[in-house]
């Protein structure tokens, strides 16, 4: 597609459940990023993938969070045993290379009841 695609756009789930968020980056973009944005706040870096290199997971807030990127394209962010503080908008971005402007998807709004 023309832009970064994320799904689902909205997700409501009960505390303790696992959720999986999907990001389909722009074709040909080697770098992929996940961010979290809480209401009225800036972006919090979560994880970064560059090509086939090991991902930078330094921003993941706990071991309940994990992400993978298959075949250098689609990425999934998984949150296990969700907590209410996980409620936020999760944004995915991709860029042609790591030092290029990032193009963002519309995000997944996650609400934990």
Partner 1 sequence: ELKVEQNPLFLSMQEGKNYTIYCNYSTTSDRLYWYRQDPGKSLESLFVLLSNGAVKQEGRLMASLDTKARLSTLHITAAVHDLSATYFCAVDNSNYQLIWGAGTKLIIKP
Please state the φ and ψ torsions of residue 13, each to the nearest 5 degrees: -145, 165
CB of 14 to partner 1, least distance (A): 24
Q: How far is the CB of 80 from partner 1 (least distance, A)?
A: 25
Among 1, 28, 71, 101, binds partner 1 (CB under 8 A): 101
Residues 6+ apart with CB under 8 A from 69: 32, 49, 55, 75
> 8 preceded by cis ω (within 30°)?
yes
Q: CB under 8 Å to 47, separation ≥6 — which residues?
A: 33, 34, 55, 56, 57, 59, 60, 67, 77
Name which position in 29, 65, 105, 110 contacts partner 1 (CB under 8 A).
Answer: 105
Which is closer to partner 1, CB of 25 or CB of 107?
107
**Closest CB to partner 1 among residues 91, 110:** 91
Interface with partner 1 (CB under 8 A): 31, 33, 40-45, 48, 50, 56, 91, 93, 98-99, 101-107
């Amino acid at each position: 597609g023309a832009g970064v695609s994320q799904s689902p756009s909205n997700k409501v789930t009960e505390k303790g459940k696992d959720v999986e968020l999907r990001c389909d980056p722009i074709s040909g973009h080697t770098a992929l990023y996940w961010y979290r944005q809480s209401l009225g706040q800036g972006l919090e870096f979560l994880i970064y993938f560059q090509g086939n290199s090991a991902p930078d997971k330094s921003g993941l807030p706990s071991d309940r969070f994990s992400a993978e990127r298959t075949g250098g394209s689609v990425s999934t962010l998984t949150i296990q045993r969700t907590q209410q503080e996980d409620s936020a908008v999760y944004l995915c971005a991709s860029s042609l290379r790591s030092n290029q402007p990032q193009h963002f998807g519309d995000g997944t709004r996650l609400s934990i009841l």
